[in-house]
A and B are shown apart, each in its own frame.
Chain A
């Protein structure tokens, strides 16, 4: 297993960090960030659209989606967005407190991508692109 704590493509000025693990032929990339004053619904829509486009891109490249998963959490809403390559599914989660202490205006986002037969740099670039879109 090769562990790359700070992925090669991430510059220091980013507020988030993504981490890559290679295992059994799979590229596993995870990233987490917290936004202030962002709408939960806007983030949810952007991530949903991104997962749809990731699925298409991975299929076009001959890759196999292990899973693409995201957990979005705000003070009163929690949702998991996931796909295994076909449909992107959004599941509302019980709104019991999980994870770090959340402020009223915060949206916490955790994303984990596990994909086979896709180059690590390309997948990292896609996730960075998604975080950049969320940041705008």
Chain B
């Protein structure tokens, strides 16, 4: 089972990317053997919204609400992953973290408890970066520090100059991550989806 952790601040577009990615992974498989994709949806509040959207699109979703799996609900996450592995045994497990989670902490606990190395993608909202960069500095830096892939989203809402500033800033926070520009107004590039799939 391959595990992919989707992180990023609230409203950055994690659920939209997840939907496209899950669809791509299923479509890539041969017709006689559909790739099984399972999703763990973690939401900080006690009532989920994104899980309803994902279910409405036909996916089986396991919810972990009312806290964050990177800290307070860590044991729920490990239990949930084990249960999925035993019952569904998917090829891919995608974990959508809350918008206030630290993806590297999630990856660390999965590695320690289950011995599985996760892939981490962090999504950034280019249109809000300047606004939230300073007041939420610790959170944003923590979300980006271990990402291998950073998707800069909502690029259609900012001009090229601002986009370059965002990229420079992100490069300072994580110089080893590969960055891609994406936009909610057009589907994800198939080459990018393949990069995510191939790690």
Contact = CB atoms under 8 A, between A and B. Distances in A.
A30 interface: yes
Interface string B16-39: 000000000000000000000000
Contact of B47 (A1, A26, A32, A95): A32
Contacts of B72: 1, 23
Contacts of B49: 69-71, 80, 82, 110, 112
Nearest to A81: B49
Contact of B125 (A1, A64, A84, A99): A84
Contacts of A93: 52-53, 56
Given A85-B128, A96-B58, A19 B53 contact: no
B131 A64 contact: yes
Given A66-B100, A67-B10, A116 B135 contact: yes
Contacts of A32: 47
Nearest to A87: B157
A82 B11 contact: yes
18 contacts: A1-B68, A1-B72, A19-B45, A19-B46, A23-B67, A23-B72, A25-B139, A64-B131, A65-B11, A66-B99, A69-B50, A70-B49, A93-B52, A93-B56, A95-B56, A98-B55, A99-B55, A112-B48
